[in-house]
Amino acid sequence: MLDRAAEILAGEQAYVVGGTVRDELLGRSVVDLDIACADPERAARAYAAASGGAPFRLSAAHGGWRVALDGGRTVDFTPLHGSIEDDLATRDFTINAIARPLAGGEHVDPFGGRVDLETGTVRAVGADVFENDPLRLLRAVRFEEELAFAIERRTERLVREQAELVTRPAGERILEVLLRLDIPGWSRLGELGLLQPLGGSLELADRAGAVDSPEYRLVVFLQDSIGLLPISRDLRRFAVALLRSSPPSDSSPRSLHRFRRGTEPWAAEALAFHGRLDLASALDESRASDPAEPLLRGDELGLPEGPEVGALLELIAEERAAGMISTRKEALELVRRHSR
């Protein structure tokens, strides 16, 4: 990736910047490449042509371009206005404000980012970083958790003072960061005052570890406020299944059948969400006992299509799960008693 970029930008002023340099210095695997150069569009189109990638504009306002490559890798080209030092002054944290010439040479580190990498410190480049882009409030927590660093004292004070700005970024950007947080990160959001403006709370934090899933954690910590974010249709169905369900009243086959009716295929996650993992074994037994075939199908009820057919089929399924009926004859008799 780097060699191809160096060939395309040979003879031009260009720098490797941001997370690429940070991860190189930390010895972490580098998946994405960030390059600051004079003409991002030209560089992106040339890189895409040479690599078979797909170029597209990242931001009309900021002039950035991205080339999407196979395997989810990306190469970003951002505009270099003025000196590289001027560019780095617009970055969020010192650990992301380090550059190195694409053609080779010494690192450019005007804010002491390498020292902060060595000491494990997340430090804001300036006092206005969160006002310029409030998403950085969340990113501070993400870097702290992901890198096992600590937010520097003055930077933490800035986060607390400006926590209310956290709702300003686009929902897609907020969601992207939240989905990368583990339990300590969510707890840190609450501690710093960033979770409450998003409509979340730590009320159910003790249940967050029951399921290792970023989507599950999103529901646990945001609950109904998850609907304020631009979540996918599948995630919305998952959230609704958990949030609108009630835990089984007991471990009886009937209670578990009713619970599963509104929560499958996420009944296990819903049990965890309600703090009822004591019923996990009973749920497994209920799932294992599901019959391969129904006793009756809708077209066998002798009724016109409509809601009544669905209600009767569900009645048959529940009574069968509860052990009250087990044959086709018994199912037909049940239909006879309950149909209009």
| DSSP string computed for 101-156 | ETTS---B-TT-HHHHHHHTEE-BSSTTHHHH-THHHHHHHHHHHHHT-EE-HHHH
Asked if the model's pLDDT at residue 213 lies above 80, the reply is: yes
Tokens representing residue 239 in the block: 């959230």
What average pLDDT does this structure show over 34-45? 94
Tokens representing residue 34 in the block: 């960030």
Q: Using CA of residue 44, residue 47, residue 48, residue 54, what is the dihedral sign? A: negative
> Who's near 213: CB < 8 A, 6+ residues apart?
269
Q: What does residue 36 show for φ and ψ, rounded to 5 degrees?
A: -100, 130
> Who's near 243: CB < 8 A, 6+ residues apart?
219, 223, 224
Looking at per-residue confidence, does 131 or 315 come out higher? 131
pLDDT at 340: 60
What average pLDDT does this structure show over 49-66? 88
Domain boundary among 67, 102, 119: 119
Domain boundary among 93, 119, 145: 119
Instruction: Tell me, yes or no, whether 24 lies in a domain.
Output: yes
Asked if the model's pLDDT at residue 320 lies above 70, the reply is: yes
Instruction: Tell me, yes or no, whether 259 lies in a domain.
Output: no
Tokens 């296990």 correspond to 268
Instruction: Tell me, yes or no, whether 85 lies in a domain.
Output: yes
Number of domains in the chain: 2
Tokens representing residue 187 in the block: 């707890």
Instruction: Tell me, yes or no, whether 252 lies in a domain.
Output: no
Contact 64, 79 (CB under 8 A): yes
Contact 122, 95 (CB under 8 A): yes
* Average predicted confidence (pLDDT) for the chain: 93
Tokens representing residue 117 in the block: 């990498």
Instruction: Tell me, yes or no, whether 9 lies in a domain.
Output: yes
Give residue-wise pLDDT tens across range 125-166.
999 999 999 999 999 999 999 999 999 999 999 999 999 999
Q: Which amino acid is at 180?
A: R
pLDDT at 325: 87
Which of helix, strand or coil describes residue 46?
helix
Which domain CATH number covers 67?
3.30.460.10
Looking at per-residue confidence, does 151 or 82 come out higher? 151
pLDDT at 316: 85
Domain boundary among 80, 97, 119: 119
Nearest-10 Cα torsion for 298, 301, 303, 308: -60
Asked if the model's pLDDT at residue 20 lies above 70, the reply is: yes
> With pLDDT > 90 as the criterion, what percentage of the chain qualifies?
77
pLDDT at 16: 95
What's the rounded Cα separation, in Å, for the pair 36 and 166?
27
Give residue-wise pLDDT tens across range 323-340.
898 888 888 888 888 876
- Count Cβ atoms within 10 A of the Cβ of residue 202 and give its class: 0-12 exposed, 13-18 middle, 19 or more buried: middle
Looking at per-residue confidence, does 220 or 4 come out higher? 220
Instruction: Tell me, yes or no, whether 32 lies in a domain.
Output: yes
Question: Which of 55-69, 199-213, 214-228, 269-283 bottoms out in mean pLDDT, i.e. has the lowest?
Answer: 55-69
Give residue-wise pLDDT tens across range 274-296.
999 999 999 999 999 999 898 88
74-79, strands of its sheet edge to edge = 54-57, 65-68, 74-79, 33-37, 14-16, 100-101
What average pLDDT does this structure show over 7-22? 92
Contact 107, 98 (CB under 8 A): yes
Domain encompassing residue 333: 291-340
Instruction: Tell me, yes or no, whether 158 lies in a domain.
Output: no
> With pLDDT > 70 as the criterion, what percentage of the chain qualifies?
99
Query: Which residue(s) pair with 76 in the sheet?
Result: 34, 66
Asked if the model's pLDDT at residue 15 lies above 90, the reply is: yes
Instruction: Tell me, yes or no, whether 38 lies in a domain.
Output: yes
Confidence of residue 322 (pLDDT cuts 50, 70, 90): confident
Contact 34, 22 (CB under 8 A): no
Looking at per-residue confidence, does 59 or 36 come out higher? 36
Which of helix, strand or coil describes residue 81?
coil
